[in-house]
Amino acid sequence: MTDETEQGGPADAGGANGTARAPSRRSVIGWGGAGLALGAAVAGGTTLALRATDSPEPAGSAGAAVPFHGAHQAGIATAVPDRLHFAAFDVTTENRAELIQLLKDWTAAASLMTEGRAVGEGAFGGVPEAPPDDTGEAAGLKPSRLTLTIGFGPSLFTGDAKARQDRFGLAKRRPGALVDLPKFPGDNLDPARSGGDLCVQACADDPQVAVHAIRNLARIGFGRIAIRWSQLGFGKTSSTTPDAQTPRNLFGFKDGTRNVAGTDTAALDRHVWVSADAGPDWMAGGSYLVARRIAMRIESWDRTSLQEQEDVFGRDKGEGAPVGKAREHDEPFLKSMLPASHVRLAHPDSNGGARMLRRGYSYTDGTDGLGRLDAGLFFLAYQHDVREAFIPVQRSLSRSDALNEYIQHVGSAVFAVPPGVRDKDDWWGRGLFS
Ligand code: HEM
């Protein structure tokens, strides 16, 4: 997180979601001052306003805005900021038109919030008799590279959990690749932390900006959706910018060394984006997201010898070099690693070439009542088809990975992530409902 690339430099803030950099806030609004809440651009029927203490943000700085519009949604190949608020929602309305209106309202609000602007008429100065349109806690904060990425869960296509009826007439539009994940050996999944009709991934440099975004989307959806579960994350455990310093996970190892880079368009096209001929049409340019809450047994790990820790991964702890090699980015020689080592099992050569773009986060949610940290990895991985990437890789890891002694998968969800919102007339999921 220290170099220019990771801070939202030219390679980051624009481009990776297939769009040119958005105009700075100054050029968007033609206004260079700070202070007053300015009411009132109107988009998609929603009245929009600036945050009360907005000031223009120089492009390329840590607080820069990431373009919301583009061929792909931001928050996948774009640089990974350090904070996450992820939420899965149940759709509570049974009315298709209400769901469509919700997605339009969310798109309008998301587009504003990613620019560092408030929702509706803002948090203050509106009608005294009504609750403010924006909750206000992000007033005066920078856009902070906020990205908001939406996904549609299998249950959206099949109806509610009880009746399984086709609530929204979407059953025939369910992508073949949006399969329910199988149960893997060792899974101990909590239904209260799994599944969801919709998800929104909010990533930002400032946790308050990410939380504000999810909170306002939940508030806008009141009566139409309800939060099913959510997850806060810190300290990204993978990056999409391999030239930057590789982050470390809670086991102290560099994580993301061999991740798909956000600038590697050939790898993104092959492994991450859904191609036009893969079908269905509405998913072209989208991706599939697997989210897994993986508890890490920190206390056991901390009592494990350094040698065993390094054997578990097949990399050394300091440099992150693969066994027998000197540098982190040296090509691993898999046969020199133990057969059960994580990297050997997860490597594309052990999985028919399968790759995925990982952008998970560490989490700690207090203690478990027995004096142990409730901590782990909130694993997020994007791929063009879960049947070709996450499922086979996890099948192999769940059977044999030496890491299994120290981890347990406790939450799980899968989502179809549609392509990007093209322009201000487009909205999240328009292709699905057309
Ligand atoms: C708490 C659980 C996990 C931890 C602590 C962890 C940690 C690591 C570390 C330290 C590396 C080596 C550095 C790198 O190339 O990124 C790695 C590699 C990798 N992991 Fe994990 N991982 C976890 C779970 C998973 C899961 C569930 C999957 C997928 C099903 C996965 C897939 C991969 C892949 C594909 C690689 C790259 C292998 C290569 O190309 O060499 N990991 N992981």
Least reliable range by pLDDT among 24-33, 269-278, 329-338: 24-33
Asked whether 281 and 35 are in contact (CB, 8 A), the reply is: no
Q: Which residues pair with 201 in a beta bridge?
A: 86, 149
Whether residue 241 has pLDDT greater than 80: yes
Residue type, 238: S
pLDDT digit string (tens) for 131-142?
Answer: 999 999 999 999
pLDDT digit string (tens) for 24-70?
Answer: 332 332 222 222 232 333 333 333 343 433 333 333 446 799 999 99
Q: Helix %, strand %, coil % for the chain, to 5?
A: 25, 20, 55
Task: Return d(Cα 262, Cα 282) in angstroms, integer.
Answer: 23
CA 313 to ligand 1 centroid distance, Å: 8
Measured torsion, CA atoms of residues 49, 54, 59, 60, in degrees rounded to the nearest 10: -120
Question: Cα separations (Å) of 24 from 27, 57, 80?
Answer: 5, 7, 20
CA 227 to ligand 1 centroid distance, Å: 29
Q: What is the DSSP letter of 77?
A: S
Q: Which residues of 93-108 are buried (b: 16+ CB within 10 A; e: fewer)?
A: beeeebbbbbbbbbbb
Q: Which residues pair with 48 in a beta bridge?
A: 41
Asked whether 240 and 234 are in contact (CB, 8 A), the reply is: no
Q: φ and ψ at 155, to 5 degrees?
A: -70, -20
> What is the maximal distance between C-alpha atoms in the chain?
70
- Please list the alpha-helical segments (H only) found in 306-377: 306-313, 342-346
User: Which residues does 302 contact at the CB level (< 8 Å), separation at least 6?
Assistant: none
3-state secondary structure of 409: strand
Whether residue 161 has pLDDT greater than 80: no
383 lines ligand 1 (CB under 6 A): no
> Residue 111: enclosing H or E segment and its boundaries?
helix 96-114
CA 346 to ligand 1 centroid distance, Å: 6
Task: Quote the tokens at residue 87.
Answer: 């939420």
Task: Quote the tokens at residue 65.
Answer: 């805005």
CA 19 to ligand 1 centroid distance, Å: 30
Nearest CA to ligand 1 atom 18: 343
378 lines ligand 1 (CB under 6 A): no
**Domain map of the chain by residue range?**
65-423
Residue type, 324: G
Average pLDDT across the chain, whole number: 87
Per-residue model confidence (pLDDT) at position 384: 98
pLDDT digit string (tens) for 342-400?
Answer: 999 999 999 999 999 999 999 999 998 888 999 999 999 999 999 999 999 999 999 99
